[in-house]
Amino acid sequence: MSTPTILIMAGGTGGHIMPGLAVAEAMQQRGWQVLWLGHPERMEGSLVPQHGIKMLPLRFSGLRGKGVKALLSLPFTLIRACWQAHRCLQEAKPDVVLGMGGYVAFPGGLMSFVSRRPLVVHEQNAVAGTANRYLAKMATSVLTGFPGALPGAVTVGNPVRDAFVGQGSAAERYAKRSGPLRILVVGGSLGAAALNKVVPEAMALIPAEQRPHVTHQSGQQHLESLQKSYADNQVQADCKAFIGDMAQAMKEADVLICRAGAMTVAEVAAIGVAALFVPLPHAIDDHQTANARYLSECSGAWLKKQSELTAQWLAQWLQGLNREELSRVASHAQEHAQLNATQQIAEACQQAARRVG
């Protein structure tokens, strides 16, 4: 009996690629061969082969904001991408195709539908991306990370790494703590400048004896300027270019100040940490605000627009917090965690393959 094969389509950003890799590992553990359809010159081109997964190249990228010339060339670009996808499907002969988002997923998914191969779509964000909105109409099975992202879909949550699972009760963790609050700031790779400016200024407005302890991840390119900002404000902070064990850092924090990517929201819920989400204001379709609302509307997080985030507001807000309230918010977040997403997606892929096979 031949080894079944899954072709995963995901690319462009870590928000699509990392959950795809989690499912890839789950499928390998189930005895499946995993292949990947992606752009060789984007993030997936370097990341996926590092995990021992063969990548089939497809050169197709987003057109939003690229002007009239790109739009006029779209039919030709799409036809070429569909032809590439067709050749990849002929080579791979997958038993099932999984679309995890990113523009490469559209031509691959379209040609999967045309060739009558089982197609499973998973949308990570609370507002569906362009590719998945179309592919959902062709798919054998449609899954989402958040309720209501796609009509008729099954909400399974987003895959989170094992390090974020089984970290114990948030309420018990907070109950054991005392002393100054511990703040973790994670700006993300995009648009970190706003948090890097406001947080040091806010800390300077809090009296030294009441000031929280701050750990701030800036990214390598912003590290020097962030350290200078804290120094200029006469505030001590632990500034890091990168935090290797983010699960442990979140677990140790009383408050997390961060963006609201789909994976971040899932990790906040899985760990059970009180988070202030400041959505990236220029995210496509403002999907980060919608992601954040999943927890903020059930009292499992706070949501603040970047345009309203000032040093004065943040300083006052932080001084008004106490661990009892933080424990409540973290516990509400943890109650909304969906920890079995990876296995549910893997199971949906197997079922879709069986349906046709």
Q: What angle do CA 190, 194, 200 make, to 5 degrees?
A: 125
Q: Is 125 annotated as a binding residue?
A: yes
Triad 59, 62, 68: Cα angle to 5°: 110
Q: Is the confidence at residue 356, as pLDDT, over 70? A: no
Find out whether 300 is annotated in a ligand binding site. Answer: no
Phi/psi zone of residue 108: left (φ > 0), alpha (ψ -120 to 50 degrees), beta? alpha
Per-residue b or e along 297-335, where b marks 16 or more CB atoms closer than 10 Å to that residue's CB = eeebbbbbebeebebeebbeebeebebeebbbbbbbbbe
d(CA 259, CA 226): 17
Beta-carbon contacts of residue 182 (< 8 Å; ≥ 6 apart)? 212, 213, 215, 252, 253, 254, 255
Crossing angle for the helix pair 287-296 and 262-271, to the nearest 10 degrees: 20
14 is in an annotated binding site: yes
Q: What is the mean pLDDT of residues 260-282?
A: 96
DSSP 140: S
Instruction: Say yes or no to pLDDT of 357 above 70.
Output: no
Note the pLDDT of residue 122: 98
pLDDT in tens, 229-240: 999 999 999 999
Structure token pair of residue 41: 């010159």
Query: Was 342 annotated as part of a binding site?
Result: no
**Would you say residue 77 has pLDDT above 80?**
no
Question: Is 272 among the annotated ligand-binding positions?
Answer: no
| pLDDT value at residue 74 | 61
Looking at residue 306, its pLDDT comes to 95
User: Strand, coil or helix: what is 266?
Assistant: helix
Determine if residue 17 is labeled as part of a ligand binding site: no
Q: Any known ligand binding at 293?
A: no
User: 15 falls in which pLDDT band (50, 70, 90)?
Assistant: confident
Task: Give residues with Cβ within 8 angstroms of 65, minimum separation 6.
Answer: none
Q: Per the annotation, does 15 bind a ligand?
A: yes
Q: Tens of pLDDT along 206-249?
A: 999 999 999 999 888 889 999 999 999 999 999 998 898 999 99
pLDDT on residue 45: 80
Q: What digits encode the pLDDT tens for the residues 320-333?
A: 999 999 999 999 99
